Amino acid sequence: MDERTFERLLAEDLEWQKSVHRYRRLRVVRAIDATHLEFEGRRYVNFASNDYLGLTHHPRLIAAAREAAAAWGTGSGAAALISGYGEAHRDAEEAIARWKGTESAVLLPSGYQANHAAVQAIAAMSNGLGGDVRFLLDKLVHASLIDAVRATELPRRVFPHNHLPKLRRLLEEADDDQLQVVVTESIFSMDGDAADLAGLGELKRQRPFVLLLDEAHGGGVYGPQGGGYAAEAGLAGIADVTIVTLSKALGGIGGAVCGSNLLCEAVVNHARAFIFSTGVPASVAAVAKEAIAVMTDEPWRQQRVRELAGRTRAELRRAGLSIPDGDSPIVPLVVGDESAALRAAEQLREKGMFVVAVRPPTVPRGSSRIRVTLSSAHTDEEVAALIAALKDLWPSTA
Ligand SMILES: *Cc1c(COP(=O)(O)O)cnc(C)c1O
């Protein structure tokens, strides 16, 4: 194939993306603070960020990043197993493990990679077990989990979202020596609803399985010190493998696999996503550690974002809008097709509220939506204006 044909095929594919309203492009925004940004010369209130606690611009986190970069440089220079792992990394991992209540934690450059690393560590066991590992995934888990599991080429099944009776049937159909790994999220990223952790705990007692729980959106917003949704539910020990991202409520970048010492050793020994990638800069580790300290010192941030989420959800429901169950700061308004979601987001932007449309493949076909997220840094007036704008919008999208 010559270069011209290659370019033509790329162009044809992108034309198709446009024709089905799935074309994506980067927007250059200028972050002003946790909840305000400038875009094409205009100032917006940001309702599209996962900075639930307003930590991205916290002076203590900025100072931690500066000091660590000044002390140890801007890059780690090598994979953690070579020479890219220092005191800052060890301290952050210990702080993360204490925060999650696990024996150990392993730091990775992103939550996406943390999910790959966790799944790879589990998949490595299939060698010892003669290949008998099977993954059971909630239908709505994040793309990083789907990609990670697919890449193992091990058997996998998908159960309908939060459908524990169906999960039970899948667990029962397997033979007893098969290692079954249930993969789910505590707070679902695009729907903002929660997994039934009590139900999963009950099922686990009856039909033992390994639970991989992605707490990307539970961290910070739930639990003492923001330790997560499982901690909030009084089920801190329920997951065998917990994934955290440092990029959402924690206001930085990176991810971690948390669990037993043995699990973390398996990640270090087997996970290609860990072994073959450069260690995070010390500044990234220092920011994560400081974020955990700030969450402990400033519990009002969690209270505030949850209060705003509760208020928004209640007022929208009272106005007849249909919002999925739950109380998280992720509030989706499902409008159906891609172009309706794009239009709704555009209308909110016209009112100075920065919101984006979420379309397939991020969400299932026919469930395109606008996804609004709240932060402790939003003012009462900003949230009131958002609620009013969503109510205005609704008759035209229902
Ligand atoms: C954002 C997200 C990830 C990926 O985390 P990054 O740190 O952004 O790479 C993983 N899982 C879920 C559920 C997420 O929402």
Question: Beta strands 255-259 and 241-245: pairing type?
Answer: antiparallel
Q: Name the CATH topology of 59-297.
A: Aspartate Aminotransferase; domain 2 (3.40.640)
Which residue among 247, 253, 258, 328 is best mutated to probe the pocket of ligand 1, counting the most ligand atoms within 8 A of its Cβ? Answer: 247
Alpha-carbon gap, residue 270 to 127, rounded angstroms: 11
Q: What is the pLDDT of residues 34-75, one digit of tens each?
A: 999 999 999 999 999 999 999 999 999 999 999 999 999 999
Cα dist from 62 to 56, 93, 227, 237, whole Å: 8, 19, 22, 32
Mean pLDDT on 172-185: 91
The domain spans of the chain are 20-49+299-397, 59-297
Contact 84, 77 (CB under 8 A): yes
pLDDT score for 176: 76
> 328: CA distance to ligand 1 center in Å?
16
Q: What is the pLDDT of residues 279-321, one digit of tens each?
A: 999 999 999 999 999 999 999 999 999 999 999 999 999 999 9
pLDDT at 129 over 70: no
> 117: CA distance to ligand 1 center in Å?
13
pLDDT at 89 over 60: yes
Asked if residue 281 has its Cβ within 6 Å of ligand 1, the reply is: no
Q: What is the pLDDT of residues 98-115, one digit of tens each?
A: 999 999 999 999 999 999
Contact 227, 100 (CB under 8 A): yes
Which residue among 142, 184, 287, 362 is best mutated to probe the pocket of ligand 1, counting the most ligand atoms within 8 A of its Cβ? Answer: 142
Mean pLDDT on 237-251: 98
Confidence class for position 398, pLDDT limits 50, 70, 90: very low
Asked if residue 216 has its Cβ within 6 Å of ligand 1, the reply is: yes
Nearest ligand 1 atom, CA 188:
13
Confidence class for position 174, pLDDT limits 50, 70, 90: confident
Percent of the chain with pLDDT over 70: 98
Q: What is the pLDDT of residues 335-363, one digit of tens each?
A: 988 999 999 999 999 999 999 999 998 88
Mean pLDDT on 138-151: 97
In this structure, whether the domain defined by 20-49+299-397 belongs to CATH 3.90.1150.10 is answered with: yes
> 4: CA distance to ligand 1 center in Å?
37
Mean pLDDT on 147-153: 96
Map residue 208 onto helix, strand or coil.
coil
Reply yes or no on whether 185 is catalytic: yes
Own/partner long-range contacts of 227-235 (Cβ < 8 Å, ≥24 apart)? 227/99, 227/100, 227/101, 228/100, 228/186, 229/186, 229/187, 229/194, 229/195, 229/197, 230/186, 230/197, 231/100, 231/101, 233/197, 233/198, 235/197, 235/198, 235/201
pLDDT at 84 over 60: yes
> 271: CA distance to ligand 1 center in Å?
18
pLDDT at 397 over 70: no
Beta bridge partners of 76: none
First to last CA, the chain: 48
pLDDT score for 394: 78
pLDDT score for 52: 98
Alpha-carbon gap, residue 178 to 394, rounded angstroms: 49
Cα dist from 186 to 63, 156, 222, 276, whole Å: 31, 20, 10, 29
Asked if residue 214 has its Cβ within 6 Å of ligand 1, the reply is: yes
More confident residue, 251 or 4: 251
Mean pLDDT on 78-91: 98
> 387: CA distance to ligand 1 center in Å?
27
pLDDT score for 131: 61
pLDDT score for 163: 98
pLDDT at 226 over 50: yes
pLDDT score for 128: 67
Catalytic residue among 189, 283, 328, 368: 189
Mean pLDDT on 237-259: 98
Confidence class for position 130, pLDDT limits 50, 70, 90: low
Nearest ligand 1 atom, CA 247:
7
More confident residue, 223 or 3: 223
- Average pLDDT over all residues of the chain: 95
